[in-house]
Structure 1
Amino acid sequence: MLEPPDIVALMDKVKRRGISLKDYVGVAPLNGIKTGLNEAFLIDALTRDRLVQEDVSASDVIKPFVRGQDISRWVTPQSDLYMIVLKSSADHSWPWANASSEVEAEAQFAQMYPSVHRHMKRFESFADIKTGERKGLRYREDQGRWWWSLGSCAYYGAFETPRVIYQAIQYYARYSLEEGPLYGNNKTYLIPSEDRWLLSALNAPISWFVAWRHFLHMKDEALSNDQAKIVSFPIPDGDEPEKEQAADQVSKIVEQTRFVSKSLSKSLIG
């Protein structure tokens, strides 16, 4: 893209004075979870309530979930979606992790989470309506040792600690601070940091100006801010008084946004 000299000079200045996001945070952003079969692992609130009503222990493995399209600026409201988080035995010490056979492992799974087991069993194996080909949890590319398990992931814990989340595809800057459990799909990313200065920088108008020239353009002028490009995205380096002031203002914005979001949800419900 050809730019006027003053725009080129401004971009050079921003990049020269900024710190790459990866260097600022210390790690690259982390991608959301790819389940391999969303219809099995992703459920709505009604299904979640039913599974928990049938077996209260189901709540241990059912977590709030967000899609890329659901992420908002500053704070993301709770959606009506949940994820059944059955971590790979390579990442979690399930009672069935070291079972000697699938029969033994499944029996332990069914005993520990009976309602979740019944739900997952429906998706174990089925015939494609059009082709007759066998599909289901058993035939996924992304799975753990057992057919009901998610694929291995070294950072499950990052989905339950304070962090910044964002969309893989954006039409405008939507970086959100999350402090509790919230899992995302592979169209979301998380930055394992609750740094308010970082959040303010990413949501700033000047950052969208830079993003428009830094990220790849997709259909309908959406931007693809995937891991390969965002690691080098320039973050301004302020002094401590500036960062403290920004942190204070961002905390207020986050709380106000959260309050408005909850108020809107209550008014819509009744």
Structure 2
Amino acid sequence: CKEKNKGKTLAVTVDDGCTRNLSDYIKQNSSEISFNNSENWVILNPIELSIKKKIEQYGTKLQDWDLSINRGILTGYNDAFIIDEAAKNSLITADPKSAELIRPILRGKDIKRYTYDFAELWIICIPCGFTNANKKGDAEEWFSNNYKSIYTYLVNIEKELSKNRSSKSKGLYKRDDQGDYWWELRSCKYIDDFNMPKLMYSEIVQEPHFYFDDNTHFYPEATTFIMNGDNLKSLL
């Protein structure tokens, strides 16, 4: 009769250059991995596996750190709210108050290992609740008077985008991800965390890419995640 499966398998990571003598490579570099528990499957060579076990034995698991992990901003309409350098400069030149509501933004693909490649993109960030906390009288009239260049830009860009919009798109005014008014972003309880020191990392990567934003400079786009808490640098 067959021997009962012990849940242990010889595993190896294979680089592109190892395919010529694959059987010999497997014999020389494989290690026994246990796949009989609920943990994620991790394939490492013996040296890496030994290091991993020591870290787990003496270190503190990430889930036990006092950290908060959140995703980036969902605008519901990036074509309107994410702008380039020229548009940002134009808005601020027309009305310097616009700078209060514009932040530099990093997408997931902009984040590299310990650094970033800024694509000179900016987000018009008007948080949910901002208008009601500041307005006097009619909300749209207040916003259009106090942030005229941003209001005009959003109205005009919606007119332009609507010309070629697919039937599935709800547009700027009727999109799902909005705040109390169409010019606001959806409610985000952790939006203040964007202004704190944070680790930023991409949603999908082939290898670890983390950037420590110590200067609280960048806002994260939806394909970026952030991590806030103490001793963030020690995680790099």
TM over 0.5, yes or no? yes
The answer as to 2:223 corresponding to 1:187 is yes
Counterparts in 2 of 1:1-270, with a 5 A limit? 3=11, 4-5=31-32, 6=46, 11-24=52-65, 26-89=66-129, 94-96=133-135, 104-124=138-158, 127=162, 129=164, 135-178=170-213, 179-193=215-229, 195=231, 197-200=233-236
The answer to whether the Cα contact below 8 Å between 2:85 and 2:121 also exists between their aligned partners in 1 is: yes
What's 1:245 paired with? none
Partner of 1:29, secondary structure, is strand
Q: How far has the Cα of 1:69 moved from its partner?
A: 0.2
Partners of 1:43 and 1:2 in 2: how far apart?
51
Return the letter of the residue paired with 2:223: K
2:98·2:150 contact (CA, 8 Å) conserved in 1? yes
1:164-194 superposed Cα distances (whole Å, 9 cap, x missing partner) = 1111111222111112231111111111146
| 1:134/1:83 CA distance change after superposition, 3 Å | closer
Cα separation, partners in 2 of 1:133 and 1:67, compared to 1, 3 Å: closer
Higher mean alpha-carbon deviation, 183-192 vs 129-138, is at: 129-138
Instruction: Name 1:226's counterpart in structure 2.
Output: none
CA contact (8 A) 1:123 1:136 kept: no
TM-score (structure 2 length as normaliser): 0.72
Cα distance between partner residues in 2 of 1:130 and 1:78: 28
Classify 1:28/1:20 alpha carbon distance in 2 versus 1 (closer, same or farther; 3 Å).
farther
Separation in 2, partners of 1:134, 1:196 = 39
Flag the 1:93–1:198 CA change in 2: closer, same or farther, 3 A: farther
CA distance in 1, matches of 2:169, 2:229: 42
Q: Distance in 2 between matches of 1:135 and 1:110?
A: 22
Q: Root-mean-square deviation (CA), in Å? A: 2.6
Task: Point out the structure with the larger helix share.
Answer: 1
Structure 1 alignment gaps of length 5 or more: 201-270
Larger Rg over CA atoms = 2
* Contact 1:64–1:81, Cα closer than 8 Å, also in 2: yes
| Residue type at the aligned position of 1:136 | G
8 Å CA contact 2:82–2:124 kept in 1: the answer is: yes
Alignment CA distance shift 1:133-1:92 (3 Å): closer
SS at match of 1:190: strand
**1:76 deviation in Å?**
2.3
